[in-house]
Structures are given as structure tokens and as C-alpha cells.
Amino acid sequence: MANSILFLGRYICIRCGRSYGKKYTLNCHLRYECGMEPQFPCKYCPYKAKRRSSLKVHQLTRHRQELFLTRKTIDTNR
Ligand SMILES: [Zn+2]
Ligand SMILES: [Zn+2]
């Protein structure tokens, strides 16, 4: 792949310089992460995450209260 080089056993993305131990991980980075617009918008603020997992972390750290309230509302509606 033209977007990466193998250096000292690490696969390096030439676009941003990140290095990965596995080619598969680098390919994932190139496909879903590198140069991509964040694809997972937070519903509580204008933040957009690049990965579903980082959105989860963001919401757990920044919106613990909102998450708790949402769950509570769903419970009372039942
Ligand atoms: Zn990259
Ligand atoms: Zn947020």
C-alpha cells in the first residue's frame, strides 16, 4: 500500500506518522481513521468521535450525568 512503509518491523502511516505492529491494524487506521472526519457524533454536545469506542469513553467521562438521566427517563416511561 502506498500510504504506508515498513520500518524496523513497524508499519508506519506516511500521512500522519502513526506506527502499528500489525499490517491489519494499520489498514484499519487508513480506512477508518486517517484523514477521516469523525463519524460518531455525541448526542449531548457537538463533539464527534472517530471511533465508537472513543465516543463511549467520551460520554462516560463527560456525560455521566446525562447518561444516568436518560436511563432514568426510559425506566419511568415503562
Ligand atoms: Zn495515518
Ligand atoms: Zn459529548
CA of 16 to the centre of ligand 1 (A): 4
Domain assignment of residue 23, yes or no: yes
Q: Residue 1 pLDDT more than 70?
A: no
Same domain? For 8 and 23 the reply is yes
Question: Residue 11 sits in which domain range?
Answer: 4-33
**Of the bound ligands, which one is closest to the alpha carbon of residue 62?**
2
Residue 54 CB coordination number (10 Å): 13
The CA distance from 15 to 30, in Å, is: 9
CA of 42 to the centre of ligand 1 (A): 23
As for how many domains the chain has, the answer is 2
Q: How confident is the model at residue 53 (pLDDT cuts 50, 70, 90)?
A: very high
The average pLDDT across 27-55 equals 88
Domain assignment of residue 69, yes or no: yes
DSSP secondary-structure letter at 3? T
**Of the bound ligands, which one is closest to the alpha carbon of residue 59?**
2
pTM of the model: 0.48
**Of the bound ligands, which one is closest to the alpha carbon of residue 41?**
2
Same domain? For 65 and 44 the reply is yes
**Of the bound ligands, which one is closest to the alpha carbon of residue 33?**
1
